[in-house]
Amino acid sequence: MALVGTFAPPHPGDLPAGSPFYDAWHDLVAGTIDDYTPGVVRGEFVDPSAVDVDVLAHRAVPWTGFPRYLLVRHRDDRHRAFCEGEIRNVVGNQFEYLEWHVTRNEFGRITKVVFVTELLEYWDLLARTNPQRLVELYRELVHPDVEGDDLFLEREGTRSYDPYNRWNIVNGIVHYVVGINNLPLAVGVAEGGLAEAAPDGFAVAAAPDVHAADERLRRDVGAVARRDLSVILREPVTLTIGGWDDTGWTKPDGSPVGDYWRVTRGTAEAPVRLEYEVPPEEGFVVADIAIGGRPIEFGGQLAEHVTVTVHAAAGRRAS
C-alpha cells in the first residue's frame, strides 16, 4: 500500500473538507511526479502515492533562503547583494524558493518582513475553485482593502486569476512570483540528480548556474540514489520554511531580541509563511535591530538567516 493516499495541501483548511479542491490538488502534485524515474546507474525517484516504499530514513534537505546567485555575483559587496535581493518579480531576484516582502514606515525604515514558500500553482487552483475564498484569504493575509477586481483579469470575456496582482508584489506577498520558483521545476531538478553516473560528489558535474537550491536537491537525491535507494518527497509535497536563526540579534539597548517570528501559514512542522515584526509595546521597529552589530536595512539580511527545506525520505520498494 502506498505511503500517501491523497497529497495534503501545504496549508490545511483553506476550504472545507470535501471540497473538490483537494482532489484537484492531489492530481496536480501527482501529475508533477512520475510514478518512478530510474537513475541512470542506480536508485530511483518515485511518487509515494503510486509506489509503495519502505522508508529507511527521513531526510530534510535544507538550503539558505538568500539567493546564492547574488552572494557570488557580488562576492565582495554584500551591501549590493542585499540591495538587489529586494527585487522581486517574475525574472528575479529571489531565486532560492524563498520570497519576501518588506514593509517600511514613512521614514523608509523596515517595520515588517514577510517570507513565503507558497506555490503559485496552489493559489491559482484555489482561485479557480473558489474565487471568493481567495479574496478572503488575501484580506486576512495582506490587507482588508483587497477587492476581487484587484486579483482577477478580464481577457476576451474570461476572468482569470492574476498572480502578479499588486497585493502579491507591490503591496504585500502571498505566493511565489519568481518564474523559476515552482513545484515542477523543483521536482525536475531533484530528478536530475538521477542522471548522474559520477562515482562521488566531487565528480558530479557542477551546474554553471549558481542557485544553492538546485545543487542541493540534485546532489542529495543523487547521493541517495547512488546507494541504490528510492527517494520520495514527504508530505506536504512543497517547499517549506525549515528554520530561522535570530541568535545574537540585538535590540537598540544591546540585549537579545525577543521572539518576533510568527508562522501564519502551513503547519508548525512545515511553515510556508513566516512574518517578522516587532510588537508595538517594544517601542522600536525591525530597522532598529542589529544583526552582528549591523543595523537591518534590507529584508535579505533576515533571509540570510532563514532556511528553506524540502522533506524527503529514502527507502526501498516494498516487496
Partner 1 sequence: MTARVPAERGRREPAGYGPVVPIEEPVYDRAARQDVQGNIVPGFNKPHQQFMFLRIDDPVAARRWVAGLAPQVTSMDEALGFVRELKARRRELRTRDAGLSATWENVAFSFRGIELLGGAGAAAGFAEESFRQGLAARSTHLGDPTTPYRPGHRDGWVVGGPGNEADVLVIVAADDPDARNERAAEIRAGAHGLEVLYEEPADVLPDDLHGHEHFGFRDGVSQPGVRGRCDDGSFLTERFVDADALEPGDVRADLFARPGQALVWPGQFLLGEPRQDTESLLAPAPPAARPTFPAWAARGSYLVCRRLLQDVPAFRAFTEAAAGLAETSPEHLAALLVGRWPSGAPLMRAASADDPKLADDLMAVNHFLFDDDTRALRLVPGAPSPPDRFPQATADVLGRVCPHFSHIRKMNPRESGTDLGKPADTLLRLMLRRGITFGPPLAGVPDPSPELIAAERGLMFVCYGATIEDQFEFVTRRWANSPILPNHGGHDPIIGQRDTRGDRRRFVEVPGPDGGVRRIDIDRDFVVPTGGGYFLAPPISALTGVLGG
Report the site for partner 1 in 23-42 (rule: CB under 8 A): 31-32, 34, 37
Of positions 59, 104, 133, 139, contacts partner 1 by CB under 8 A: 59
- Is 245 near partner 1 (CB under 8 A)? yes
Nearer to partner 1, 158 or 255 (CB): 255
Nearer to partner 1, 78 or 109 (CB): 78
Among 101, 92, 152, CA closest to 128: 152
Nearer to partner 1, 118 or 214 (CB): 214
Interface mask toward partner 1 for 76-105; x: CB under 8 A: xxx---------------------------
- Is 169 near partner 1 (CB under 8 A)? no
Of positions 24, 169, 180, 263, contacts partner 1 by CB under 8 A: 180
Of positions 25, 63, 100, 161, contacts partner 1 by CB under 8 A: 63
Give the range of 46-54, 164-172, 249-257, 265-273 binding partner 1 by CB under 8 A. Answer: 249-257
Of positions 16, 198, 262, 318, contacts partner 1 by CB under 8 A: 198
